[in-house]
Structure 1
Amino acid sequence: MEIKSIYENKKQFMDLLLLADEQESMIDKYLERGDFFALYDSDLKSVCVVTRESDDVCELKNIATYEKWHGNGYGSKLLHHIFSHYKGKYKTMLVGTGDSPWILQFYEKNGFRISHRVKDFFTDNYDHPMFDNGIQLMDMIYLSKNL
């Protein structure tokens, strides 16, 4: 297994990024300013993007694993890599996500704790309704992790 930093042609990974953030115009807002990581295990399995939000805070903007590889630990391995990478550079990592039990459980299992909620984020910022397991996503749930 190998995790690589990607500096150029980040849009070549758009198909995978869209699994976690399904509107390309929203991804475009952070993709070029973010640090991009790709996890390979014989071939590409997972990617993530992390942005600097302040001197003390970075934000995990996107993490995605191809669906056929869900449950194999690739997302968690990528998270632990970026935790190590940013330890000492930032005090806190944030991540925002929809109010989906399985996604929240994934982040909590990896050391994040619920921080706050941005009401109506998905309805105010996306050009179409977003659903997870048949439930419309409305609010953005932010979680934080001390690094």
Structure 2
Amino acid sequence: MSIKYQKVDSYFYFYLLAITFSSIASQYIFKKSYANANANANANANANANATANANANTNILVVLGLCAYTFTGFCVYKILNYGNLVVLNIIWHLVYFIILFIIGFLIFNEKINYQKIIALLFGLISLIIFMFYGIE
């Protein structure tokens, strides 16, 4: 039995980028909520009850936002499966994810780039091109 996949269109690229950015956003939000929870634990000894309750509410909101972002990621993964098999699509979105994180790290966080990282990025780009042109059925 053969499965009929959709042709790659603009929705494919939308879902691909949505998976990437919602994954990054959810991880960032969870990291912030974890940092807030630790700060709240340290501040509990010196703070009054109202300040502690507000800080805990903010942490809970961040956790819910992170879960919503991951839920959206799952929805986009479900939608992108119409375009090909799981193995190839998983490799494609992880390559896009790592390339975008590489660029964000360089441009926003001023991370250092060396020859090994540039070569790895080039291999990632070559792999992405091959999978995009020949891997999607």
TM-score by length of 1: 0.28
* Larger Rg computed on CA atoms: 2
TM-score by length of 2: 0.30
Higher helix share: 2
Higher strand share: 1
